[in-house]
Amino acid sequence: MLTGGDVAAGAGSRLTLSAHPQSSMRGLDSVQTVGVVGAGTMGSGIAQVAAVEGYDVVLRDVADHLVASGIEGIEDGLDRMVDGEKLSRTEADAARERVTGTTVFDDLAAADVVVEAIVEDIDVKREVFADLEEVTDDDVVLATNTSTLSITTIASVTDRPDLVVGLHFMNPVPVMRGVEVVVGEKTAGETVAFAHDFAAALGKETWEADDKPGFVTNRILMPWINEGIRAFDEGVADKADIDRGMTLGTNVPMGPLELADHIGLDVCLHASETLHEELGDRYKPAYLLKRKVEAGDLGKKTGHGFYEYD
């Protein structure tokens, strides 16, 4: 999920919150192939950065058209990097060749590490991790890109909860340099260190959070967005001045209403509802947010949200 800042910490500021006994684990120096489950915006972004950094990637989704859309997104992203002179055409073409799309779950058996980036539904994620448990080698780290859900609950369906960790990338993944490493109840210390180092190998910087609802980013971000929506709904200022006040007054790159449109109002609502259920009324979604979602105005991806988009 897109977050409104570049919060990051170097290796020296890590606070490893768990030190459970470690199963045999495949080290970073053995990682050649990265498996990514989910070819949507987040999954294709993760696949792109892994391919750019020289890893072979197996990108899996449930239907051919979803895989094709993800591959197209990667190609567009690589073209933008060429246009921005961040990659040569030869480098971009080589990165594209390193990505293999598939709908066959067993193809993930080749992966040395897997990152899941599917819908924010705990039951669906647990089903995927149960399948990953079966198809991948026992020493492979399994990471989830969840932005709000419990790492511990996801890991509990596997026989290697010590090798399950949260790797919460920010959206858009190729642009945002931050990755949130989330430590489950049974995540081993070596797995946490691997997660930090793997993110660094993808050109990212990390910070670390315990397995509590929303972690750092969404626990703080969602109330900020909802309060911006309430301020607009209650007539404190018009939407442009709310966003302008926050960008000029606090030096964030986007105000809460514009940011919500970019994230997707449905995504914001789902995250807020999860936090509300877990943490109480201070996380209650704004009424106008729910009304917008019910009307189908989900933000930039539908062309209408708090603003209009081509």
Just list the catalytic residues. Answer: 147, 168, 180, 218
- Residue located via tokens 């492979």: 140
CA distances, 130 to each of 108, 182, 265 (Å): 13, 20, 30
Distance separating alpha carbons of residues 226 and 242, to the nearest angstrom: 12
Beta carbons within 10 angstroms of residue 109's beta carbon? 16
Distance separating alpha carbons of residues 285 and 298, to the nearest angstrom: 15
Do 166 and 183 form a contact (C-beta atoms < 8 A)? yes
DSSP β-ladder status, 113-116 and 33-37: parallel
